[in-house]
A and B are shown apart, each in its own frame.
Chain A
Amino acid sequence: MTKKAWALSAIGALVLAGTPALADPVDATLILNEDIEITTRTTAPDHLSGALDEVMSGWLFRGVETRAMQADDFDNPGMIFVEKAEDLWNAADGAEGKSCADCHGDSSEMSGVRPVYPKYVEAAGEVRSLEMQINDCRETRMGAEPWKYTGSDMIDMTALLASVSRGLPVNVAIDGPAQSTWEKGKEMYYTRYGQLELSCANCHEDSYGLMIRADHLSQGQINGFPVYRLKNTKLNAAHSRFKGCVRDTRAETFAPGSPEFVALELYVASRGNGLSVEGPAVRN
């Protein structure tokens, strides 16, 4: 081997050895509006023992500018949609002529709701997502048309409900009547889907911190949803993200709002128990 080729292969080895570190999560603290400190990194919940030691928000895997954008409500484009939802919150709709505010009061009264959803609802006898509860309110209490599951009104409203709970830890129940749904979600998480035969865990548990093409692989936490994505300049619901991920494995996906995705949402949310609610977060 010539001298030049030796030098080149030495550089190659250095580059290879350095690659995994390039996409590591950053060591940074997120404080919203110089006021609310967000837990972006914490000890993994007990049910993840053997799988993960620490759970991390997707915020830690993003670039400097994207992270800064989320730290101030004026800079966070997701807050535009929260403002829109505030108008919806106070607007009467449906046959009963009632608004959300007529029953629930100020939107800030809903603080603490986002962190515990999806949850088992006794009256309905099933695990429900926040979207399902919103539509239940619209249909049975307001006499209004239900919103499309990932339509703009629905996403805006979930962003409002998330925003008033920012800083509170995600705390979904995984035992009791919710357990069977949670186990169904867990099974989905570890099931390989599609022609690429990828499970959620292959990327988000085994390979977080590595690069996926030009992007950083996060743990796939959903504490920041709905998220404002720079790539499509709008809010995106967790179920839309699930759909996108399953599609990318080249599988036929489940529909947003389907029982499968509600179960998966419960399980994925439980993997982030202890992280702060961040929605609407800002991501790529």
Chain B
Amino acid sequence: MAKGVKPRVKVPKTAAVGEAITIKTLISHKMESGQRKDGDGNTIPRSIINRFTCGFNGENVVDITLEPAISTNPFFEFEATVPESGEFQFTWYDDDGAVYETAKKITVE
């Protein structure tokens, strides 16, 4: 299992109905490409986050495939419209099978 992996997200606490809010996400991860060799000439195995999804009250907002060329600590920023109060669920899928999850509540006023 990759070490020091820690997801972070930034979502406003409140929004107006139908407002497009900005969501920022970042996960600390080394994103080893699988193309590098160590000092002895052995290939360092690939170890990346390969998929990221964001859902809102069970409905999919974004679903992203990540490739080995993406650099360390991948950061995503996107907009979402919020029809009602609820919860954003964020999920990152690691090559090693680990799944990292976090969630943020938002209130529509």
Contact = CB atoms under 8 A, between A and B. Distances in A.
Contacts of A209: none
Interface in A43-88: 74-75, 77, 80, 83-84
Please classify the interface of chain B as helix (H, G, I), strand (E, B), loop, or mixed, using the class held by over half of its residues: strand
B28 interface: yes
Q: Tell me what chain A mostly uses at the interface: helix, strand, loop, or mixed.
A: loop
A233 interface: yes
B6 A233 contact: no
Interface string A75-116: 101001001100000000000000000000000000000000
A75 B8 CA distance: 11
Q: Classify chain A: how many residues form its interface, as a range.
A: under 10
B73 A233 contact: yes
Contacts of A77: 26, 73, 75
Interface residues of B, number: 11
A74 B8 contact: yes
A84 B4 contact: yes
Contact of A74 (B10, B28, B71): B10
15 contacts: A74-B8, A74-B10, A74-B24, A74-B26, A75-B24, A75-B75, A77-B26, A77-B73, A77-B75, A80-B6, A80-B26, A80-B73, A83-B6, A233-B71, A233-B73
Interface of B: 4, 6, 8, 10, 24, 26, 28, 71-73, 75
